[in-house]
Amino acid sequence: MSALAVETPTAVPWDGRLVVRAAGGRLLHVGAQGTIAPAATMFTVALECSPDLEQAPGVRPWAGPVDEASICPACLRSLRGEPEPAPPRLVASGSTERLPAAVPSRRLWAVPDPATWAAAALPAEHGGRPISWSSWTPAPVVTHYSSACEWCGDAGPCEMAGGRQGSPQSASDPLRRFVAYRCSYCQKMTAYEHVGSDLKQIVHYKSRAPKGSRR
Protein backbone atom coordinates (compact mmCIF):
# COMPACT_ATOMS: atom_id res chain seq x y z
CA MET A 1 0.00 0.00 0.00
CA SER A 2 1.45 3.31 -0.99
CA ALA A 3 0.94 6.72 0.57
CA LEU A 4 0.14 9.75 -1.51
CA ALA A 5 2.03 12.92 -0.74
CA VAL A 6 -0.28 15.93 -0.97
CA GLU A 7 1.46 19.23 -1.59
CA THR A 8 -0.14 22.05 0.36
CA PRO A 9 0.31 25.50 -1.16
CA THR A 10 2.15 27.94 1.09
CA ALA A 11 -0.11 30.67 2.43
CA VAL A 12 0.74 34.11 1.12
CA PRO A 13 1.80 36.60 3.82
CA TRP A 14 -1.21 38.87 3.16
CA ASP A 15 -3.72 36.01 3.29
CA GLY A 16 -6.67 37.08 5.42
CA ARG A 17 -5.43 40.68 5.66
CA LEU A 18 -7.13 43.81 4.40
CA VAL A 19 -5.73 44.76 0.96
CA VAL A 20 -6.24 48.35 -0.16
CA ARG A 21 -5.16 50.72 -2.89
CA ALA A 22 -3.80 54.11 -1.90
CA ALA A 23 -5.06 57.23 -3.61
CA GLY A 24 -2.83 58.30 -6.48
CA GLY A 25 -0.70 55.14 -6.45
CA ARG A 26 -0.61 51.89 -8.41
CA LEU A 27 0.76 49.62 -5.67
CA LEU A 28 -1.49 47.78 -3.24
CA HIS A 29 -1.01 47.98 0.52
CA VAL A 30 -1.69 45.47 3.29
CA GLY A 31 -3.58 46.52 6.38
CA ALA A 32 -1.96 46.07 9.78
CA GLN A 33 -2.80 42.98 11.82
CA GLY A 34 -6.45 43.10 12.95
CA THR A 35 -7.35 46.08 10.76
CA ILE A 36 -10.95 46.03 9.51
CA ALA A 37 -12.21 48.16 6.65
CA PRO A 38 -14.64 50.91 7.73
CA ALA A 39 -17.92 51.31 5.91
CA ALA A 40 -16.89 54.62 4.34
CA THR A 41 -15.91 54.64 0.66
CA MET A 42 -12.75 56.60 1.38
CA PHE A 43 -10.94 55.92 4.63
CA THR A 44 -7.62 55.90 6.42
CA VAL A 45 -6.47 52.72 8.14
CA ALA A 46 -3.24 51.50 9.68
CA LEU A 47 -1.04 49.80 7.09
CA GLU A 48 1.96 47.51 7.44
CA CYS A 49 4.14 50.21 5.88
CA SER A 50 2.37 53.09 7.72
CA PRO A 51 1.12 51.92 11.13
CA ASP A 52 0.63 55.53 12.29
CA LEU A 53 -2.86 56.69 11.30
CA GLU A 54 -1.68 60.28 11.03
CA GLN A 55 0.80 59.28 8.29
CA ALA A 56 -1.30 56.59 6.59
CA PRO A 57 -2.61 57.56 3.14
CA GLY A 58 -6.23 57.63 2.11
CA VAL A 59 -7.19 54.26 0.66
CA ARG A 60 -9.99 52.32 -0.99
CA PRO A 61 -10.72 48.60 -0.45
CA TRP A 62 -9.34 46.29 -3.14
CA ALA A 63 -11.15 43.14 -4.25
CA GLY A 64 -9.18 42.35 -7.42
CA PRO A 65 -6.25 39.96 -8.01
CA VAL A 66 -3.22 40.31 -5.74
CA ASP A 67 0.32 39.10 -6.41
CA GLU A 68 3.72 39.92 -4.99
CA ALA A 69 4.59 42.34 -7.79
CA SER A 70 1.55 44.48 -7.01
CA ILE A 71 2.20 44.77 -3.24
CA CYS A 72 4.08 47.73 -1.73
CA PRO A 73 7.71 46.61 -1.06
CA ALA A 74 7.64 48.20 2.41
CA CYS A 75 4.51 46.22 3.31
CA LEU A 76 6.18 43.00 2.11
CA ARG A 77 9.31 43.65 4.19
CA SER A 78 7.15 44.26 7.26
CA LEU A 79 5.12 41.08 6.71
CA ARG A 80 8.30 39.00 6.30
CA GLY A 81 10.11 40.64 9.18
CA GLU A 82 12.90 41.88 6.92
CA PRO A 83 14.90 44.97 7.92
CA GLU A 84 14.50 48.26 6.15
CA PRO A 85 17.18 48.95 3.52
CA ALA A 86 20.01 51.21 4.64
CA PRO A 87 19.37 54.84 3.63
CA PRO A 88 21.72 56.25 0.99
CA ARG A 89 24.79 57.95 2.42
CA LEU A 90 24.84 61.63 1.58
CA VAL A 91 28.11 63.14 0.41
CA ALA A 92 28.64 66.89 0.65
CA SER A 93 28.96 68.62 -2.70
CA GLY A 94 32.50 69.56 -3.62
CA SER A 95 34.05 66.86 -1.44
CA THR A 96 36.35 64.18 -2.81
CA GLU A 97 36.09 60.51 -2.01
CA ARG A 98 38.46 57.67 -2.78
CA LEU A 99 37.01 55.14 -5.20
CA PRO A 100 36.94 51.49 -4.10
CA ALA A 101 39.93 49.44 -5.12
CA ALA A 102 39.54 47.31 -8.21
CA VAL A 103 38.86 43.64 -7.64
CA PRO A 104 41.99 41.75 -8.82
CA SER A 105 40.03 38.81 -10.21
CA ARG A 106 37.71 40.98 -12.29
CA ARG A 107 38.43 40.90 -16.00
CA LEU A 108 37.89 44.03 -18.03
CA TRP A 109 36.95 43.38 -21.62
CA ALA A 110 37.82 46.06 -24.16
CA VAL A 111 35.30 46.70 -26.93
CA PRO A 112 37.07 45.96 -30.23
CA ASP A 113 37.14 48.60 -32.94
CA PRO A 114 34.81 48.01 -35.89
CA ALA A 115 36.36 45.82 -38.57
CA THR A 116 37.74 47.77 -41.52
CA TRP A 117 39.20 46.57 -44.77
CA ALA A 118 41.75 48.17 -47.07
CA ALA A 119 40.11 50.38 -49.69
CA ALA A 120 40.08 48.86 -53.16
CA ALA A 121 42.30 50.77 -55.60
CA LEU A 122 40.94 51.65 -59.02
CA PRO A 123 43.03 50.48 -62.00
CA ALA A 124 45.36 53.28 -63.08
CA GLU A 125 45.57 52.03 -66.67
CA HIS A 126 44.10 49.59 -69.14
CA GLY A 127 45.62 48.38 -72.35
CA GLY A 128 48.76 50.35 -71.63
CA ARG A 129 46.96 53.72 -71.43
CA PRO A 130 46.00 55.65 -68.28
CA ILE A 131 42.42 55.95 -67.00
CA SER A 132 41.04 59.08 -65.34
CA TRP A 133 38.50 58.27 -62.61
CA SER A 134 35.86 60.38 -60.86
CA SER A 135 35.39 60.28 -57.07
CA TRP A 136 33.41 57.49 -55.45
CA THR A 137 29.71 58.34 -55.03
CA PRO A 138 26.72 56.29 -53.75
CA ALA A 139 25.29 54.16 -56.54
CA PRO A 140 21.64 54.78 -57.47
CA VAL A 141 19.13 52.36 -55.98
CA VAL A 142 17.26 50.41 -58.65
CA THR A 143 13.67 49.39 -57.86
CA HIS A 144 13.09 45.63 -57.43
CA TYR A 145 16.87 45.03 -57.33
CA SER A 146 18.73 44.24 -54.13
CA SER A 147 21.48 46.74 -53.32
CA ALA A 148 23.07 44.36 -50.79
CA CYS A 149 26.64 43.18 -51.36
CA GLU A 150 26.65 39.62 -52.72
CA TRP A 151 29.81 38.82 -50.73
CA CYS A 152 29.38 40.27 -47.22
CA GLY A 153 25.64 41.04 -47.30
CA ASP A 154 25.98 44.73 -46.40
CA ALA A 155 22.67 46.44 -47.16
CA GLY A 156 24.33 49.11 -49.29
CA PRO A 157 23.91 50.91 -51.54
CA CYS A 158 27.40 50.36 -52.90
CA GLU A 159 29.65 53.08 -54.34
CA MET A 160 30.40 53.74 -57.98
CA ALA A 161 32.99 55.71 -59.96
CA GLY A 162 33.21 56.58 -63.65
CA GLY A 163 36.39 56.51 -65.72
CA ARG A 164 37.48 57.61 -69.16
CA GLN A 165 40.42 57.07 -71.45
CA GLY A 166 41.46 58.88 -74.61
CA SER A 167 39.58 61.59 -76.48
CA PRO A 168 36.67 61.55 -78.95
CA GLN A 169 38.74 63.80 -81.28
CA SER A 170 41.76 61.44 -81.34
CA ALA A 171 42.04 58.67 -83.91
CA SER A 172 45.07 57.08 -82.25
CA ASP A 173 43.66 57.28 -78.72
CA PRO A 174 39.86 56.94 -79.04
CA LEU A 175 37.50 57.62 -76.14
CA ARG A 176 36.75 54.67 -73.90
CA ARG A 177 34.46 54.75 -70.86
CA PHE A 178 34.67 52.69 -67.68
CA VAL A 179 32.60 52.19 -64.54
CA ALA A 180 33.51 50.61 -61.20
CA TYR A 181 31.38 49.40 -58.29
CA ARG A 182 32.60 48.60 -54.78
CA CYS A 183 31.06 47.67 -51.42
CA SER A 184 31.61 50.45 -48.89
CA TYR A 185 32.04 47.84 -46.09
CA CYS A 186 34.10 44.91 -47.39
CA GLN A 187 35.63 46.79 -50.38
CA LYS A 188 34.82 44.10 -52.94
CA MET A 189 35.27 45.98 -56.22
CA THR A 190 34.77 45.27 -59.91
CA ALA A 191 35.65 47.61 -62.80
CA TYR A 192 34.15 47.35 -66.28
CA GLU A 193 34.71 48.85 -69.71
CA HIS A 194 31.72 50.00 -71.76
CA VAL A 195 31.76 47.97 -74.96
CA GLY A 196 28.71 49.02 -76.95
CA SER A 197 25.72 48.30 -74.72
CA ASP A 198 27.59 45.69 -72.67
CA LEU A 199 30.02 45.88 -69.74
CA LYS A 200 33.30 43.99 -70.03
CA GLN A 201 35.04 43.21 -66.75
CA ILE A 202 38.64 44.42 -66.60
CA VAL A 203 39.48 44.22 -62.87
CA HIS A 204 38.03 42.36 -59.90
CA TYR A 205 39.20 43.11 -56.36
CA LYS A 206 38.30 40.20 -54.04
CA SER A 207 37.34 41.21 -50.51
CA ARG A 208 39.38 40.07 -47.51
CA ALA A 209 36.29 40.20 -45.27
CA PRO A 210 34.75 36.86 -44.21
CA LYS A 211 31.91 35.83 -46.49
CA GLY A 212 28.56 36.86 -45.04
CA SER A 213 30.19 38.94 -42.29
CA ARG A 214 27.45 41.61 -42.47
CA ARG A 215 24.50 39.29 -42.74
What pTM was computed for the model? 0.48
Per-residue pLDDT, 106: 62
pLDDT of the residue at 200: 93
Which pLDDT does position 21 carry in this prediction? 87
What per-residue confidence (pLDDT) applies to 13? 82
Please list the pLDDT of the chain residue by residue as tens digits (215 residues).
Answer: 445 545 555 677 888 888 988 877 788 999 988 888 776 766 788 898 888 888 888 888 888 888 888 999 999 999 888 888 888 877 777 777 777 776 666 666 777 777 888 888 899 999 889 999 999 999 988 877 788 898 998 988 899 999 999 888 888 888 999 999 999 999 999 999 999 889 999 999 999 999 888 87
118-126 long-range contacts (CB < 8 A, ≥24 apart) are 118/187, 118/208, 119/187, 120/182, 120/187, 120/188, 120/189, 120/205, 121/205, 122/161, 122/163, 122/180, 122/189, 122/191, 123/191, 123/202, 123/203, 126/165, 126/176, 126/178, 126/193, 126/202
* Among 60, 51, 54, 11, residue whose Cα is nearest residue 33: 51
**How many alpha carbons lie under 13 Å from residue 49 in its C-beta half-sphere?**
18
Look at residue 205 in the predicted model and tell me its pLDDT. Answer: 93
> Between vectors from CA 97 to CA 92 and to CA 98, what angle results, nearest 5°?
170
The per-residue pLDDT for 16 is 83
What is the model's pLDDT at position 8? 52
Rg (CA), the chain: 38
